[in-house]
Amino acid sequence: MKLETIDYLAQDSAEKFVKSLRETGFGVLSNHPIDKALVEAIYVEWQAFFNSEEKRNYLFKPETQDGFFPAEISETAKGHTVKDIKEYFHVYPWGRIPDSLRENILTYYKKANTLAQELLGWIEAYAPDDVKAKFSIALPQMIENSQKTLLRVLHYPPMSGDEEMGAIRAAAHEDINLITVLPAANEPGLQVQVKDGSWVDVPSDFGNIIINIGDMLQEASGGYYPSTSHRVINPEGADKTKSRISLPLFLHPNPEVVLSDRYTADSYLMERLRELGVI
Ligand SMILES: O=C(O)CCC(=O)C(=O)O
Ligand SMILES: [Fe+2]
């Protein structure tokens, strides 16, 4: 099984994209409106930031969760015991951002949000009527002006050789949010688990944009849109000496949005963060 890259500009792109999401939880788009030069510039300037000690001045605040998360306290995926091999910075427009990095990253945040709203429109348009009827408000509206949408700038450092046994860059997990928008990283490694249980590479040509379903959309659609497990595997050979930067935007609905009979976006998020031991 292979994930097909879909041409955003093709006439049937919306239908094909939604079909791919249904089958794999993932959709990969080429020729989309997000400027490659902007993404490239962000990779370069954030690599320099992660290489510097300045990052320590932005240590995350537990109450607000914005700022720099060092490798020592990095995430352990749900159901795992070994920490991921990564460090990251949580960008919120209301949060702390180094001045020199602010303009590009906030431009990207805005553009990726606009694209996400369009794609949520596709996801809603191609859902069957009984699934559409479950959405408490239109999907694009759920994320409109949401203060909860999180842009995570991830840095996976070169492999040092003394990583903890069994640790990988990102252990298998599902995303909590509605959908995730992720420009292809500057190095490969992202894989998705497909229906037969096997792991498939997500096409990582620079310039592609990758979208995946999160648990909140799975919940809101009564399971029609699957939130699938994905992971980032460790590099081999010469690639071991390379860093990997990636830029997932986790689209979170406004807190009061009703997801299902059981959850609002806020009650769902709080439950998950408690499980992860983050709050
Ligand atoms: O780095 C990547 O390519 C994916 C990261 C990811 O899945 C996550 O942070 O949730
Ligand atoms: Fe993820």
CATH code at position 123: 2.60.120.330
Judge whether residue 31 has pLDDT over 90. yes
Cβ within 8 Å of residue 120, ≥6 positions away = 139, 140, 142, 143, 178, 179, 251
Where residue 8 falls among pLDDT bands split at 50, 70, 90?
very high
191 Cβ closer than 6 Å to some ligand 1 atom: no
Residue 238's pLDDT is: 93
Structural domain including 140 reads 5-275
Residues 164-192 have a mean pLDDT of 95
Closest ligand, as measured to the CA of 150? 1
Judge whether residue 218 has pLDDT over 90. yes
85 Cβ closer than 6 Å to some ligand 1 atom: no
127 Cβ closer than 6 Å to some ligand 1 atom: no
Tokens of 252: 């979170």
Judge whether residue 76 has pLDDT over 90. no
Domain count, the chain: 1
Secondary structure element (H or E) that encloses residue 103, with its range: helix 99-125
Judge whether residue 262 has pLDDT over 90. yes
Judge whether residue 6 has pLDDT over 90. yes
Tell which one of 91, 174, 177, 190 to mutate to probe ligand 1, the residue whose CB is within 8 A of the most ligand atoms.
190
- For atom 9 of ligand 1, the residue with the nearest CA is 248
Judge whether residue 44 has pLDDT over 90. yes
Q: What angle do CA 19, 22, 28 make, to 5 degrees?
A: 65
Specify the ligand 1 atom closest to the Cα of 230. 7
169 Cβ closer than 6 Å to some ligand 1 atom: no
246 Cβ closer than 6 Å to some ligand 1 atom: yes
Under 8 Å between Cβ of 27 and 209: no
248 Cβ closer than 6 Å to some ligand 1 atom: yes
End-to-end alpha carbon distance in the chain: 39
Specify the ligand 1 atom closest to the Cα of 169. 1
Cβ within 8 Å of residue 183, ≥6 positions away = 34, 39, 208, 209, 210, 246, 247
- For atom 8 of ligand 1, the residue with the nearest CA is 248
Tokens of 85: 């091999």
Closest ligand, as measured to the CA of 86? 1
User: Which comes out higher in pLDDT, residue 75 or 122?
Assistant: 122
Judge whether residue 278 has pLDDT over 90. no
Residue 203's pLDDT is: 92
Residue 277's pLDDT is: 78
- For atom 10 of ligand 1, the residue with the nearest CA is 175
Rounded to the nearest angstrom, the distance between the alpha carbon of 232 and the centre of ligand 1 is: 7
Name the region of 79 (left: φ>0; alpha: ψ -120 to 50; beta: rest): left
Residues 162-182 have a mean pLDDT of 95
Under 8 Å between Cβ of 215 and 267: no
Judge whether residue 279 has pLDDT over 80. no
220 Cβ closer than 6 Å to some ligand 1 atom: no
Q: What is the mean pLDDT of the chain?
A: 96
% of the chain exceeding 70 in pLDDT: 100
pLDDT tens for 98-117 read: 999 999 999 999 999 999 99
Where residue 221 falls among pLDDT bands split at 50, 70, 90?
very high
Tokens of 218: 């799975």
202 Cβ closer than 6 Å to some ligand 1 atom: no
232 Cβ closer than 6 Å to some ligand 1 atom: yes
Closest ligand, as measured to the CA of 214? 2
Q: Which of 268, 247, 34 is nearest to 142 (CA)?
A: 268
Where residue 125 falls among pLDDT bands split at 50, 70, 90?
very high
pLDDT tens for 181-194 read: 999 988 999 999 99
- Phi, psi for residue 252 in degrees, rounded to 5: -110, 135
Judge whether residue 124 has pLDDT over 80. yes
Q: Rounded to whole angstroms, how far apart are CA atoms 159 and 168?
A: 10
Q: Rounded to whole angstroms, how far apart are CA atoms 266 and 241?
A: 40
